[in-house]
Structure 1
Amino acid sequence: MREQLPAGGVELSPAEIEALDARWSSCWTPSAVARQLVGIETPWCVAAGWALDLFRGTQTRPHGDIEIAIPAEGFPEVRERFPGLAFDAVSSGRIWANAAPDVLAATHQTWLRDPATDNYLLDVFREPHDGDTWICRHHETIRLPYRDIIRHTRDGIPYLTPELVLLFKAKHARPKDQADFDATIPHLTTAQRETLTELLARAYPGHRWLADL
């Protein structure tokens, strides 16, 4: 699903994007996010690299930020849990500080910022969905019930199932994504490997990871 970007915002240069990394130095941990969201009705889960570490039960590498995924229509309930924070929308190298509702509706990624320090604490993906069915924003024919894509740690932290984390990472397959793939594959069940193989073949035919599965 391609976003039709709204007007406004600030276009960031590569150097400015790189400089933003320092503003994530005080980002939260999965446990801290879970404490903020305890009891909400909207399904949510830790995504990306942190999700793979939650799956494996230990932190395997440093994380420059933390991302969670939620159904787009559930964003208002999540937003209510973070009073006093600014919500900046980001997409394609642009950023909209204190994004207006129309900007939020036209983008899918939101950075929660502490106005006192200007540091970023949490990255929220507002995902497409059809009711209780999650829709992959990279390949909209991939649709799964939320109950099938969210797993939980022993202490109850929800995280995106590793097959889908790796599916998202396959798009760019940066060095850290390759490292995450190599470290995670040995821990997948046969069923998980089969699922990942099927999804990769559908979304990215001929992807180099298919040979390793």
Structure 2
Amino acid sequence: MTRIETPWGPWEAAPLAEVVALMSGLTTRWWVAGGYAIELAVGQAYREHGDVDIALPRQGQLAVRHLLKDWDVHAAVVPQTLRPWALDEVLPEQAHDIWVREHPDGPWRFQLMLDETDGEEWIYRRDPRIRRPLAELTVEQDGFHRLVPEVQLLYKAKGPRPKDEADFEAVLPLLNLAQRRWLDEALETEHTTHPWRERLRRDP
């Protein structure tokens, strides 16, 4: 795993299998997100990962906080800041990014993302016009759930970095017509124009 320095301490991501094993103790819905969600869809490793992203509906926040009661957990309540997340604290709505490590002197090991939902519908936090049934948001693989690639690519489409472009290139040939159409329409809703849209419209 790559070690990354940040103003809040170094990142040294835990192996995905270890994070999945830990999260298996959570009885509420959760899924693997980020670059690993794309890699799992592709079916093979093609780049290094600096972090591990786990997402869950906001309603499950206290359950996951109690699961991690022995870990050092911080939330980004204000952008570009981190502060400790108390065990029984309900985070404010603007908090969706959470960093986790074993102890205060250790590196950050994985990240939690709180997603918005309305009943059985997922809501894209950057543009609530974009929604999707929770039943269609993830797929089960190897005993756990991962975010479907078209939704993960929507997150990555805002100012795509080289690793986001690599993820798009890797998974694009595997997207079927329905997946391409969904992402194209979501990009049109959020961005109007986006360089990925033309490539999505080509024949799979």
Q: TM-score normalized by structure 2?
A: 0.86
- RMSD of Structure 2 on Structure 1 (CA): 2.1
Give, in whole Å, the separation in 2 of the partners of 1:63 and 1:175. 12
Determine helix, strand or coil for the equivalent of 2:122. strand
Show CA shifts across 1:127-183 (max 9, x none). 111122111011101111211011122x22311000001001001111211121111
CA contact 1:111–1:123 (8 Å) conserved in 2: yes
State yes or no: 1:160 paired with 2:147: yes
Alignment-mate amino acid for residue 151 of structure 2: L
Determine helix, strand or coil for the equivalent of 1:87. strand
Q: TM-score normalized by structure 1?
A: 0.83
Identity %: 33
Q: Pick the aligned partner of 1:120 from 108, 112, 126.
A: 108
Give, in whole Å, the separation in 1 of the partners of 2:71 and 2:40. 26
Alignment-mate amino acid for residue 21 of structure 2: R
Give, in whole Å, the separation in 2 of the partners of 1:104 and 1:110. 12
Give, in whole Å, the separation in 2 of the partners of 1:165 and 1:205. 18
Show CA shifts across 1:174-200 (max 9, x none). 121112111110111122111111111
Determine helix, strand or coil for the equivalent of 2:98. strand
What are the within-5 Å matches in structure 2 for residues 32-181 of structure 1?
Answer: 32-38=18-24, 40-90=26-76, 91-98=78-85, 101=89, 103=91, 105-115=93-103, 117-153=105-141, 155-181=142-168
For residue 108 of structure 1, report the CA deviation from its aligned partner: 0.8
Give, in whole Å, the separation in 1 of the partners of 2:145 and 2:18. 12
Structure 1 segments (4+ residues) deviating >4 Å = 102-105
Give the direction of change, closer, same or farther, for the CA distance of 1:21–1:94 in structure 2 (3 Å limit).
closer
Consecutive unaligned residues in structure 1, runs of 5 or more: 1-16
Give the direction of change, closer, same or farther, for the CA distance of 1:22–1:58 in structure 2 (3 Å limit).
farther
Give, in whole Å, the separation in 2 of the partners of 1:23 and 1:164. 28
Judging by fraction of residues, say which structure has more helix: 1
CA contact 1:67–1:123 (8 Å) conserved in 2: yes
State yes or no: 1:189 paired with 2:185: no
Instruction: Give the structure, 1 or 2, with the largest relative contact order (CA under 8 Å, sep 6 or more).
Output: 1
Determine helix, strand or coil for the equivalent of 1:140. coil
State yes or no: 1:205 paired with 2:188: no
Give, in whole Å, the separation in 2 of the partners of 1:103 and 1:81. 16
Give, in whole Å, the separation in 2 of the partners of 1:105 and 1:170. 23
Give the direction of change, closer, same or farther, for the CA distance of 1:21–1:210 in structure 2 (3 Å limit).
farther
